[in-house]
Structure 1
Amino acid sequence: MSQVPTEMQAEPTPAEIKQSRVYQQWGLTQAEYEQICQHLDRLPNYTETGLFAAMWSEHCSYKKSKPVLKRFWSQNDRVIQGPGEGAGVIDIGDGQAVVFKAESHNHPSAVEPYEGAATGVGGILRDIFSMGAQPIAVLDSLRFGEINDNYTKHLVDQVIAGIAGYGNAIGIPTVGGEIAFDDVYKGNPLVNVMAVGTLDQADLHVGKARGTGNKILYVGAATGRDGIHGATFASSDFESETEQDRSAVQVGDPFLEKLVMDATIQAVRQFGSDVVGIQDMGAAGLVSSSAEMAGKAGNGVHLNLDRVPQRETNMTPYELMLSESQERMLLVVKPEALERVAKLFTDAGLSAVEIGTVTDDGRYQLQFHGQTVTDVEVNYLVTPPKQHQAERVPHRLETEDRTQYQPQIEDASATLMQLLGQSTIASKAGLFRHFDSMVRTDTVIRPGGDAALVRVTGTNKGLALTTDISGRYTYLDPEIGGARAVVEAAQNITVTGATPIGLTDCLNFGDPDDPEVYYELDHASQGINTIAQRLNTPIISGNVSLYNETDGQPIYPTPMVGMVGLLQDVHQATTSFVKQAGDLVYLIGTLGPDFNGSELQKLQTGTIHGRLRPVDADRAADLQALVRDQILAGNITAAHDVAEGGLAVTLAEMTFTTPFSLDVQVNCPVAWTFAETPSVFAVAVPVARQAEFERDARNRAQYLGRVTDEATFSLQATDQTIRLDKATMQQHYQEALSWQLNH
C-alpha cells in the first residue's frame, strides 16, 4: 500500500499517539488500537486514529448492542426497507409508502439543551428526506428529573424551546409526543425524537455508494469545528464533577435545513436514478456518511478534502472528517448528471461540490494538500471487532418482593385530584402549545389525545402516530416492560381507529459493560420483539442510546417505542373525548390490582417496587381488534386506553375540554380504578348502537354508565364513590404542571 504521511500540521505523530494513548479519550480501547496497528501493519496517524474511534464507537457501530438488535423481527408483507438505512419504509398502498425513524439526542441535550434538542430534530428529519421522502410530522418523547428541581425546570424550558424552534422554523408540524418526570433522569434527561415522511415508492433512495466512477457530491452547509467527536461523546458516561465537552454539541440552522430538504427532495424527483445514493452527515459527520455508503455497496471511495466547503480557517483533515456541523448531505451522482444536480443546489444558495469518486478498490482514501492522509480498507473501518457482553440478572430482580402493592385509599376523590396534578399525568398543553402542529394543514388529530392523526396529502388516508415509554415497568421487569411499551403504543394507535403497521425504537440504557445493564437491554428487547410479532408491527428502524449514566448511576432502562398506524379514511377516526350527553360508557377488558410501578404507588410511597404480571399478547391483540372494528363500524364515538393513573384518570380525561361529564359505576374496589392494567379501554357508545356493540363485544365489555351534561363527575365503586366538580377537576389538571414549573 502507499505510504501514509505520519504528521499533519501540529498534530501528534503516530509514535506520539501510541505513547500518549490519546485514543482512549476518544473511546478506543487499548486492544482495539493494537488490533488496528496490526491490521494496518503500521501505526495509524492522527486522522486515521480519529476515524476509527468514531466509526468503532457504539453510537456509530452498535458493536455492543448488535447481537441484541439482529434478533428483531423486521419483515412482513408491508415492509419495503427495514433496518440499516436512514429510515425504515412501509407500504401504505396505492404506490405510496410511509418512512419513519426515531433518534436520541440525550447527551447533547444534557449539556446544551436548546441546541441538543434542536439538532435532534434536524438530524432525524435528514434521515427521512435522505430516503427521498417528504417529512410530514415530528413527535418527541422526553424524560426529565423531578419538576421541583430548578435545573430540571431549565432543561424542560430549553428542550421544549429547541424542538419547537427547529420544527416550527422548518415548517414540519410537531404533532405529538409524551413527557414524564422521575428523579433517575435528573442528571441524564432523555430527548428522543421521531420523524415521519411519505413518498411515492418509485422515489425511494438508499444510502449506497454504488457504481464505479460515480461522483461524491457534498451539499448543504459549510463545515465548521462544531460537534467534533460527537459520536464518541455519546458513547460514554457523564461525571457531575467533570466539565462536559460543549464542542461536541452541534449548532443547527432550520432555515438552511429547509433549503437542503426541499432541494434534496426535488433532486430525487427530477433526476431519479441519476442520483444513486443519499445519506445525511449525522453522527461522525463526513466519515460515517461516506464510509457507510461505500461499505453497504462493497466499494471504495477516494475523497479530496481540499474541496470540502469550510467556514473556518486552517481546518485539519481530522476536523473536516469528524465535524458534525449540521444541514449537510452526501449524494452519489452519475457523472453525466453531476453538473445539473449541483446546479439545483447552488441555485438554492447552497454549497454543492464534488469531493470524490466511487472506486472498485475497496479503499478509503483521503487526499489533503497533495498528500494521502488516510488509506485504509472501507470494510475494516466500518466493521469493529465483535463484542460479546456478559449479562447478569440484576440483583434487585432476584431479591424483589413478588407481592402486589396494596394501596390504602381513604378519600378516593382526593386521590384522583392528587393524581391529576402529578407532573407525569397533568396536562402538557402548556408545553406543546409552543409546537406548531397545524403547519402543512394535514393534521387531523392534534396533540393532547392518545395519538396524532395526519392525512396523507391528496388522499383520505391517515397515519396515526405515537411515542411511548415504559421506563418504570422495564425497571421492575425488563421483558414485561419492553412488551408493555409496544402494547401501550398499539393501544394509542388503535383508539383512533387506525391499524398499527410498524414501529421504530430508541433503546435508552446505561453502561453496556455492566452485566446487569446488558441484561436489561437484552430482555427488554425480547419483550419488544415478542409483542411486535404478535401485533404484526415489524421493527423497521431505530436507535440505541447507551451510557445514560451519571456518576455510575444509570437511568431506568427506558425503551421508547414510536409507532405508525394506517387508517383508510380519516373521516372514520375517533378521539378520546366524549361527544354527546346520553352516550353509554363501557369498559373493554378487565381491571386488575396492578399497582406495582404505577403513579399511585409512586404518589403514596415515593418510589416503585414489586413484580409485574405478564402481558397476555393474545388478549391484547383481540381487544385492540375489537376496539378498531367497533370504531370503523360507527359503534364507538370516543375511545381512550387506560394508562398512567388508571381508569379514574382515563374517564376524567375523556370529559376535559368538553361540556360533558360522566356518571359511572364499577364492580370493584375504588383502588382498582387507579390500577394500571394493560389492555383496558374506556369507550363511549351511542344508544342507537348499543345492541350492535354488545352483540359484537360479548363478554369483553362491561357497561359502566352514561355521559351527562351535569356539573359533577361521579364514579361509584363497591366501597367508595368519587364525586368531583368537573370544572374544578379540569382546571386542576390543566394548570398543575404550569404551576409546578413556575414555582
Structure 2
Amino acid sequence: MANYNVDTVKDAKKNPKLEQPYAELGLADNEYARIREILGRRPTSSELAMYSVMWSEHCSYKSSKVHLRQFGDKVPAQAKDVLLVGMGENAGVVDVGEGYAVTFKIESHNHPSFVEPHQGAATGVGGIVRDILTMGARPVAVMDSLRFGPANAADTARVLPGVVAGVGGYGNCLGLPNIGGEVVFDPTYLGNPLVNALCVGVLKKDEIKLAKAEGPGSKVVLFGARTGGDGIGGASVLASATFEAEGERKRPAVQVGDPFAEKVLIECCLEIFAADLVTGIQDLGAAGLSCATTELAAAGTGGMSVDLDRAPLRDETLVPEEILMSESQERMMAVVTPENLGAFMDVCKKWDVTATVIGEVNNSGRLTMRWHGDKIVDVPPRTLAHEGPVYQRPISRPYDQDALNGEHGNGLPRPNTGEKLRATALRLMASPNLADKSWITDQYDRYVLGNTVLAQPEDSGMIRVSENSNLGLALATDGNGRYTRLDPYTGAQLALAEAYRNVATTGAKPLAVTNCLNFGSPEDPAVMWQFSEAVRGLADGCQQLGIPVTGGNVSFYNQTGTSPILPTPVIGVLGLIADVHQRTPIAFNHDGDHLFLLGDTADEFGGSEWAHVVHGFLGGKPPAVDLERERVLAEVLVEASGRQLVSAAHDLSDGGLFVALAESALRGKTGVRVSVPEGLDPFVFLFSESAGRAVVAVPRGQVEAFTALCGDKNVPAVNIGRTDILETAIDVAGQFRLPVSEIRRAWSETLPALFG
C-alpha cells in the first residue's frame, strides 16, 4: 500500500498515451476507444476497472439486449394490471391481492460453482436473496435448478456435493425453506455445471423500494460486511469469458459467503424499510461498488460524489481498483436523507451492522470518487450503467441442425413385450435424471418458517403469503436442454409450458414468469441462433398464455473451450391460489379413485428420457407444443382443485405416463391398475413425452362433475384405471405388473450409491 501510486484524473490528462491493460480486463479495442471518447481522455485505472466490469457480458447484457426487448414489447395486455415492477430493477414485482405484492427472480452462479462448488453455490443463493431484499420484501423461500455432467463422472462427484452443501447450508442458515427445483445430468454440463438460484419475497404493495439515488444532499451509506479481496471481479469476470480448465488459477475470483451476516443484514434492512428510512437501496453483487454507485446514480438525480477511502475494509492493502471490483458478499448501499441518517445509523448499530457514509447525492450529472483527497473517478454514470456497448451478434443456424432433426430415431429398438416394457420402466425409474432426489433435498430445510404447504417432490412448491392469510404462492422451475437443442423456439416454449402446467396441477393460477437463459458463447453464431430463437419462443409463449416476464438473467459463455452446453433456458413460473387448503398434491392416497389421462398422447420421443437413457440418442424433433391447449388444461386443473373434484394431480413430462404414475404411487404408498386405451401402442401409452398432459385421481363421487368440466373445456379425458390401496404394484393390464417395493428400491438407491 505504501508503494501504491494512485492514478488520478489529473494524471490521466497529463499522460494520455499511457498503455493500459484493457484487453486483460476483457475490453475490446473498440470498447476501450469508446471509453476514451466518452471521457475525452484516457480513463484512470479506477475508471478502467469500473468500465471493464460494468461493460462485461454478465453486467451489461451487451449481446442479449437486442433480443430481450421482446419481453417488454410483447407483454400481454391482460398482464399489465398485475405487473407492478417489470424488467430493469433488481427483481420484478406482481400484485397478488389482499394488499400484498410478490417479488421473485432467478439468476445463475455457474462458473464460480465449478471453480469452488460450495462457495459458488452459497453466494449464488446469497446474491439472489439480496436482490429480493432490495425491493423492500422479506425473502420467504428459495429454489434451485441444478445441472451437472454424467452422474458417474469423477468431476460430478467433486462438484455436486459441494454445490448441494452450499445451497443448503446458506439457505438453511438464513432460515429460508427450499421448496423446489430440479437436478439434471448430461455430458455437456461436465466442466460447466449450471447453478441457478431463485428467491421469492413478500411485501405490501405500497412499500416497494427501488434502486435510485434521488435528492441532492442525501447521504450514500455503505452497510453490511467489510470489503475484502475475495471475489475481485468474481461473477462478472468468470461469467464473461469462455471457461477453460483452469479452475485453481481462478479460485481467488470466487466470493466467500457468510450466511449469518446476511441473516442479520436482512433483519436490519427490514427494520429500516418498516421505518421508511431510505429513498433508494441497492445490493452489492456482481461488479460490487462499481455497480451499486453507478446504477443508483444513473437512476436517480444523476450525480454522486464518493470518498472511496471511507469504505470499511477487511484487507487494508486493497487499492482503489480492487475495492471497486470486489464482489465481497453481504453488502448493501442505501440513499438516506440527512434527517433520517441518525435513525438509520441507530438501526444498524442495534443489529451490529457496520454502516459508513461514503458519499453524497448531487445534481452534477457526474459520478466522482476521491481517494485520500485525489480525484480518481469522474464519469457520467449512465455510460457505465445503461449506455454500454450493444451488439447485434452474427446469427447462423448450426451446420448440423438439419442432420440432427433428420435423425428421428425410428430405428431405435423399442420394447414390444410386457417383460421388455417392465424392464424399461424399471430402468427409467433408476436413471439419474428420474431417480429419487431425496439425497439432495433432505439436505435442505423445506419447512422452516412454517408456511410451506407443498415442497419437493411435488410438481410445484407452495407457501402461504403470510401467517394471517390462506392466500398461497406456487412456484415451479423447468427446462429441457435436449428439447432446446433440437428446436430452440419450441424447446423454450416446452419449458414454459411445463412450469406453467406444474403450477396449475397444484391448483394455482399461473401469474408471472422469470427466466435464467444459460447458453454457450455469444461469439458463436450458432449459439446466438439458439439464443435468439429461444427468446423469441419464450416471448411469444408468454404473450399467448397472457403472463408477463418480470425479469431474469442471461448466462453466456457456458462452455469449455469450443464445446457449449446444451442450450438451457430455465423457466420459473409463479402461481396464485386463493386458499392453500384447496391445493392438490401428487400423491395417490385414496382407494378406488378413478385415474384420468388428460390431453392427447402421440408417438413423440425426440429428446426423450427413454432415447437418452436407453440408447444415448439425441435427434429428431421435440414434442409439439400447443399453448392454447396448455392454457385450457390449466383452467381445468385449477377449477377442479378449487371445487375439490380431484384428490391428486401430476403433470406428464420426462419419462411419460409411467414415471408420473410411479411417482404418485410412491408418494401415496398406493397401488395402481391401468389399461392401455384401445388403439394406442403400449410403449407410446407408457413412455411418450407428449406435452399438454396430466394424470389426475378423481374420487368416485366426483367423476360425473369432473368429466363434465373437461367436456365444457374441450379437454380430452380418458379413464385409464383406478387406485387400489390393497394393490402393492403398478399393474398395466395385459402387459406387466411391477411391485411398488421394487420400483422404490430402484428409484431410491441411485443417488446414494453415487454420492454416498
TM-score by shorter chain over 0.5? yes
Query: C-alpha separation between the residues in 1 aligned to 2:246 and 2:371?
Result: 39
Matched residue, 2:701 = 688
Q: Is the 8 A contact 2:500 2:573 kept in 1?
A: yes
Deviation at 1:165, TM superposition (A): 0.6
Q: What's 2:456 paired with? A: 447
Using the TM superposition, name which of 66-75 and 574-583 deviates more: 66-75
Contact 1:486 1:531 in 2 (8 A): yes
Which one of 262, 265, 272 corresponds to residue 260 of structure 1?
A: 265
**Aligned-partner Cα distance in 1 for 2:383–2:584:** 52
2:716 to 686, 700, 707: 700
Structure 1, 726-735 or 514-523: larger mean CA deviation: 726-735
Pick the aligned partner of 1:427 from 417, 436, 442: 436
CA shift for structure 1 position 20: 5.6
Q: Match for residue 233 of structure 2?
A: 229
Answer with 353-362 or 184-193: which moved more: 353-362
Counterpart secondary structure, 1:226: coil
Instruction: Assess if the C-alpha contact under 8 Å between 1:510 and 1:549 holds in 2.
Output: yes
Paired position in structure 2 for 1:503:
513
From 173, 181, 188, the counterpart of 2:185: 181
| Residue identity opposite 2:701 in structure 1 | A
Once structures 1 and 2 are overlaid, which stretch shifts more, 419-428 or 534-543?
A: 534-543
Q: Distance in 1 between matches of 2:303 and 2:237?
A: 24
Contact kept in structure 2, 1:26 and 1:229, CA below 8 Å: no
How much has 1:605 moved relative to structure 2?
A: 1.8
1:60-459 → structure 2 map (5 Å cutoff): 60-72=59-71, 73-74=74-75, 76-230=80-234, 231-240=236-245, 243-270=248-275, 272=276, 274-382=277-385, 383-402=387-406, 404-406=408-410, 407=412, 408-410=414-416, 411-457=420-466, 458-459=468-469
1:623 aligns to what? 633
Aligned equivalents of 2:697, 2:237: Cα separation in 1: 51
Tell me the CA shift for residue 232 of structure 1: 2.1
Kindly indicate whether the alpha-carbon contact (under 8 Å) linking 1:17 and 1:46 is maintained by their aligned counterparts in 2: no
Distance in 2 between residues matched to 1:89 and 1:379, nearest whole Å: 24
**The residue matched to 1:636 in structure 2 has which SS?**
coil
Partner of 1:3: none
**Residues 333 and 438 of structure 1: is their aligned pair in 2 closer, same or farther, counting only changes over 3 Å?**
same
1:593 to 598, 603, 612: 603
Tell me how far apart the structure 1 counterparts of residues 518 and 746 of structure 2 sit (CA, whole Å). Answer: 32
CA contact (8 A) 1:205 1:278 kept: yes
> In the aligned structure 1, how far is the partner of 2:206 from the partner of 2:730?
55
Distance in structure 2 (CA, Å) of the matches to 1:447 and 1:187: 27
Structure 2 vs 1, CA of residues 648 and 140 (structure 1 numbering), >3 Å: closer, same or farther?
Answer: same
Aligned to 2:24: 25
Q: CA deviation at 1:443?
A: 0.4
SS at match of 2:213: coil
- Residue identity matched to 2:681: P
After TM superposition, the structure 1 stretch with the greater mean CA deviation from structure 2, 694-703 or 278-287, is: 694-703
CA distance in 2, matches of 1:395, 1:9: 49
**Which SS does the other structure have where 2:22 is aligned?**
helix
How far did 1:706 drift? 0.6
Could you tell me how far apart the structure 2 residues matched to 1:739 and 1:368 are? 56
**What SS class does the counterpart of residue 738 from structure 2 fall into?**
strand
Deviating above 6 A after TM superposition, structure 1's stretches of 4 or more consecutive aligned residues are 13-19
Q: Distance in 1 between matches of 2:92 and 2:246?
A: 40
Residue pair 1:145, 1:182 contacting (<8 A) in 2 also: yes
Is 1:557 the counterpart of 2:571? The answer is no
- CA shift, 1:290, in A, is 1.1
Alpha-carbon distance, 1:740 to partner: 2.7
Cα distance, 1:151–1:550 mapped onto 2, change above 3 Å: same
Q: Deviations over 1:269-328 (max 9, x none)?
A: 11x2x4101110000001101101111225111100121111111321111111111000
Identify the residue that residue 469 of structure 1 maps to in structure 2: 479
- Residue type of the alignment partner of 2:446: S
Q: CA RMSD in A?
A: 1.8
Is the 1:17–1:23 Cα contact (8 Å) retained in structure 2?
A: no
C-alpha displacement at 1:59, in angstroms? 0.7
3-state DSSP of counterpart to 1:702: strand
Which of 522, 525, 529 does residue 532 from structure 2 map onto?
522
Would you say the 8 A contact 1:714–1:721 is kept in 2? no
Q: 1:371 to 1:347 in 2, by over 3 A?
A: same
CA distance in 2 between counterparts of 1:147 and 1:649 reads: 20
Letter in 2 for 1:496: T
648-657 or 604-613, which moves further after superposition?
A: 604-613
| 1:226 and 1:324 in contact (8 A); partners too | yes
For residues 335 and 21 of structure 1, what CA distance do their matches in structure 2 show?
40
Letter matched to residue 224 of structure 1: G
Could you tell me how far apart the structure 2 residues matched to 1:376 and 1:293 are? 14
**Deviation sequence 1:169-194 (CA, Å, 0-9, x none):** 11111111100100000010000000
Give the conservation status (yes or no) of the 8 Å contact 2:731–2:738: no
Unaligned runs of 5+ in 1: 1-5
Other-structure match for 2:755: 741
User: In 1, Cα distance between the equivalents of 2:667 and 2:273?
Assistant: 44
Does the CA contact (< 8 Å) of 1:144 and 1:180 recur in 2?
Answer: yes
User: Deviation digits for residues 194-228 of structure 1, max 9, x if unmatched?
Assistant: 00000011221010111111110111001111111
Using the size of structure 2 for normalisation, the TM-score is: 0.94
Aligned residue identity for 1:351? T
Preserved contact between residue 711 and residue 726 of structure 1 (Cα < 8 Å): no
For the residue of structure 2 that corresponds to 1:302, the secondary structure is strand
2:683 alignment counterpart: 671
Corresponding residue to 1:730 among 735, 744, 755: 744
Say which is worse superposed, 106-115 or 723-732, in terms of deviation.
Answer: 723-732
1:485-496 matches, cutoff 5 A: 485-496=495-506
Contact residue 588 and residue 647 of structure 2 kept, 8 A: yes
The Cα offsets for residues 120-155 of structure 1, whole Å up to 9 and x where unpaired, read as 010000001111100000000000000111210121
**Helix, strand or coil: the match of 1:245?**
helix
Stretch deviating more after TM superposition (556-565 or 654-663) = 654-663
CA distance in 2, matches of 1:638, 1:301: 57
CA distance in structure 2 between the partners assigned to 1:140 and 1:7 by the alignment: 45
Give me the identity figure in percent.
39
CA offset digits 1:27-60 (Å, max 9, x no partner) = 1001111121222222112111111101111111
Question: 1:423 and 1:17 mapped to 2: Cα distance?
Answer: 59
Conserved in 2, the CA contact under 8 Å of 1:712 and 1:723?
Answer: no
* Contact 1:284/1:321, CA 8 A, preserved across alignment: yes
The alpha-carbon deviation at position 712 of structure 1 amounts to 4.0
Q: Matched residues in 2 for 1:430 and 1:710: separation?
A: 29
Looking at structure 2, the residues matched to 613 and 308 of structure 1 have their Cα atoms a distance apart, in angstroms, of 55
Counterpart of 2:444 in structure 1: which amino acid? F
Match of 2:665 in 1: 655
